[in-house]
Amino acid sequence: MLASVALVAALAALLGPAALPARAAVLRLEAYDAEGKPLAGPDLLAHIAARSGAGAAGAARSGIYVTDLGDAPVPGRPWLVAGATQTWLAWEDASRVRVSLPWPVLEDGFSTVFLDNGGAGYADGDAVLLNEAIAETQHRLFKESLDERLASWEPNYRPSAKSRELIEQAHAAVAKARKEQAPDRRAAAYEKALARISAAWAKALFEHGGQVAAHPKLGPALRWGLTLDETLPSRLADFERVAEDIRRSGANWVRLVFRANPEDFVYGNVRSFLEYDAAVKELTARKLHIMGSVLDSTQWTRSATAAQAAARTRNIVLRYQDRIRSWEVASEPNGDWLGGRKAPHPEELVRRALSESAAEVKRIDPTLETVATLYWWEGTARDDRHPTFAWLKDAEPQGLFAKVDVVALSVYPDEHPMGMAFDTVFRKLHARLPDKRLMLGGFGYVEGKELEGYWWLDPSDVDGARKDLLILFTGAAAATPRPLGGGFWWPTLSTMLNGRSDGESLARIYRRTLERLGR
């Protein structure tokens, strides 16, 4: 049912005639911060904004995302209608919707969180206490995941005493919040409950990841990886040391990114391989497995065609097929910058490159592995076509994954929050692609020293946040459905193997994390 004419008219009068479409459905939001301070309009936008919450980028960049119950974004972007003292979501052409948004979680930092009214979605005229709706949805999703892990996973999850304690604390905090009556106190209680849910979930994922790693069948197949990006040729002079540092880190896989090579984009000249020949030799000598990334999303040239991408794939794979058995044939095809942010390649070209490149690999050797890595973003995407599941919903029926064996997900939480959404997103990915093995692809947090995006742990401590996320995601990657692990830390050369003390510290954290996981 659409919003009443009277309600729409009242909102339009309050906010201006252009604020709401004439046939908009409306969901009223009430929200508070952890201290019980009301968050409406600009205050809510500031609360969920990037750059440490310092100022809001406006409704268009709020990160709020509204879909129908089938994951299709509904008309009405940016959806958020913010008055001085009241806030609504407005949309068209859907009877019920669900919502996701970035949200700062106490003691953690920004997560993508969901609210879906128990799975039923929200209808026109509904009203929610946002803090409650978020915490209740996250609590339900956590319980659903936990029940599945305890009873029907391989191996079933065996919670430690500490994990059981955290789980009980989460349940108790939700029960306590439900008893509060005053909206501000109720919201504050739900904020505390959300923090307890997040802590319990993170512990369960890391712990279960360790149990998967110890499994006699699943453990040996897990990939613990680092990325060597396109700057690798500049490190060839000391690459023997770099390769040895990778081996000593405990990693058993390397994601090797082939540079754009614009003077010979298709790698048709033997000279184009000389730098990589040396690197592959050093890595394989140390028994490190390699996933070759034939065309990272950052390496597309403006003039490249799908046929050239396929030819590039063919030439690189033919060169290394006896030493590199896994090939990333698509890197973040749902990104909107491939070929250049100002004038990216048409989506059809990128999709054709994916399918043709995968086919080239399988023509060379059907036993070679093909990998497609999707880019995680949802409401932080700049349009409705590129968010992960919206893109997948459109691409999958086209058969783009017919010759793809493994689907990975790249995660950069300072740009597009993940946090406690990690488990939900990977379970959802498995539901969409049940025949594919899954793994965490490239990930990282703030390549420089200054945070410009969404914070984790502490807005002023980039180094601490980077270490915490490296630990969390490395363990959680082993606890995904049909797991291959993964977690190919993207800025390996700049933040870990950089010859500085901060890099050595990060490398130690990574090595100790793998030791905790039984590597």
User: Quick check: 9 pLDDT over 50?
Assistant: no
| Measured distance CA(135)–CA(443) in Å, rounded | 26
**489-502 residue pLDDT tens:** 999 999 999 999 99
Q: What angle do CA 410, 247, 291 make, to 5 degrees?
A: 40
Confirm if 87 and 42 have CB atoms less than 8 A apart.
Answer: no
| Measured distance CA(452)–CA(446) in Å, rounded | 8
| Measured distance CA(329)–CA(294) in Å, rounded | 6
Which tokens in the block code for residue 232? 């690798």
- Do the strands 326-331 and 289-293 form a parallel or antiparallel pair, or are they unpaired? parallel
| Measured distance CA(193)–CA(505) in Å, rounded | 33
Count of structural domains within the chain: 3
Residue 265: per-residue pLDDT:
98
258 and 400 co-located in one domain = yes
Share of the chain above pLDDT 90, in %: 90
The band of 422, judged by pLDDT with boundaries at 50, 70 and 90, is: very high
Residue 397: per-residue pLDDT:
87
303 and 155 co-located in one domain = no
The band of 7, judged by pLDDT with boundaries at 50, 70 and 90, is: low
510 and 403 co-located in one domain = yes
Question: Among residues 83, 110, 130, which one ends one of the domains?
Answer: 130
Kindly state whether residue 217 falls inside one of the protein's structural domains.
Answer: no
311 and 415 co-located in one domain = yes
User: Quick check: 151 pLDDT over 90?
Assistant: yes
Residue 301: per-residue pLDDT:
96
Residue 2: per-residue pLDDT:
44
CATH of the domain at 455: 3.20.20.80
Share of the chain above pLDDT 70, in %: 95
Range 403-422 average pLDDT = 98
Kindly state whether residue 475 falls inside one of the protein's structural domains.
Answer: yes
Residue with token string 């802590």: 199
| Measured distance CA(383)–CA(394) in Å, rounded | 14
Kindly state whether residue 474 falls inside one of the protein's structural domains.
Answer: yes
Phi and psi torsions of 437, nearest 5°: -75, 150
Phi and psi torsions of 417, nearest 5°: -55, 145
308 and 202 co-located in one domain = no
User: Quick check: 42 pLDDT over 70?
Assistant: yes
Instruction: Provide the domain limits for residue 509.
Output: 222-516
Confirm if 290 and 263 have CB atoms less than 8 A apart.
Answer: no
**206-263 residue pLDDT tens:** 999 999 999 999 999 999 999 999 999 999 999 999 999 999 999 999 999 999 999 9
Q: What angle do CA 389, 392, 396 make, to 5 degrees?
A: 150
User: Quick check: 13 pLDDT over 80?
Assistant: no
323 and 454 co-located in one domain = yes
397 and 272 co-located in one domain = yes
Residue 17: per-residue pLDDT:
39
Residue 396: per-residue pLDDT:
86
Range 284-301 average pLDDT = 98
123 and 145 co-located in one domain = no
Range 145-165 average pLDDT = 98
Residue 181 DSSP symbol: -
165 and 91 co-located in one domain = no
Tell me which of 58 and 444 has the higher pLDDT.
Answer: 444
Measure Cα distances from 219 to 211, 361, 512 in Å.
Answer: 9, 27, 17
311 and 434 co-located in one domain = yes
Say how many C-beta atoms besides its own lie within 10 A of residue 155's C-beta. Answer: 15
User: Quick check: 517 pLDDT over 80?
Assistant: yes
Judge residue 322's burial from the number of C-beta atoms within 10 Å of its C-beta, 0-12 exposed, 13-18 middle, 19 or more buried: exposed
User: Quick check: 38 pLDDT over 90?
Assistant: yes
Kindly state whether residue 174 falls inside one of the protein's structural domains.
Answer: yes
Mean pLDDT, the chain, as a whole number? 94
Kindly state whether residue 442 falls inside one of the protein's structural domains.
Answer: yes
SS3 373: strand
Phi and psi torsions of 9, nearest 5°: -65, -40
Confirm if 57 and 69 have CB atoms less than 8 A apart.
Answer: no
**How crowded is the C-beta side of 160, counted as CA atoms within 13 Å?**
13
Say how many C-beta atoms besides its own lie within 10 A of residue 327's C-beta. Answer: 26
The band of 82, judged by pLDDT with boundaries at 50, 70 and 90, is: confident
Q: What angle do CA 290, 305, 490 make, to 5 degrees?
A: 30
Kindly state whether residue 69 falls inside one of the protein's structural domains.
Answer: yes
- E strands of 377-425, at which residues? 406-411
Question: Among residues 130, 148, 172, which one ends one of the domains?
Answer: 130
Kindly state whether residue 211 falls inside one of the protein's structural domains.
Answer: no
Residue 57: per-residue pLDDT:
61
Say how many C-beta atoms besides its own lie within 10 A of residue 182's C-beta. Answer: 10
Residue 20: per-residue pLDDT:
65
The one-letter code for the residue type at 451 is L
Range 421-432 average pLDDT = 98
Residue 68: per-residue pLDDT:
97
Confirm if 376 and 425 have CB atoms less than 8 A apart.
Answer: yes
User: Quick check: 16 pLDDT over 50?
Assistant: no
User: Quick check: 15 pLDDT over 80?
Assistant: no
Kindly state whether residue 215 falls inside one of the protein's structural domains.
Answer: no
Residue 60: per-residue pLDDT:
84
Question: Among residues 86, 101, 130, which one ends one of the domains?
Answer: 130
153 and 117 co-located in one domain = no
User: Quick check: 125 pLDDT over 60?
Assistant: yes
The one-letter code for the residue type at 262 is P
User: Quick check: 3 pLDDT over 70?
Assistant: no
**314-365 residue pLDDT tens:** 999 999 999 999 999 999 999 999 999 999 999 999 999 999 999 999 999 9
464 and 508 co-located in one domain = yes
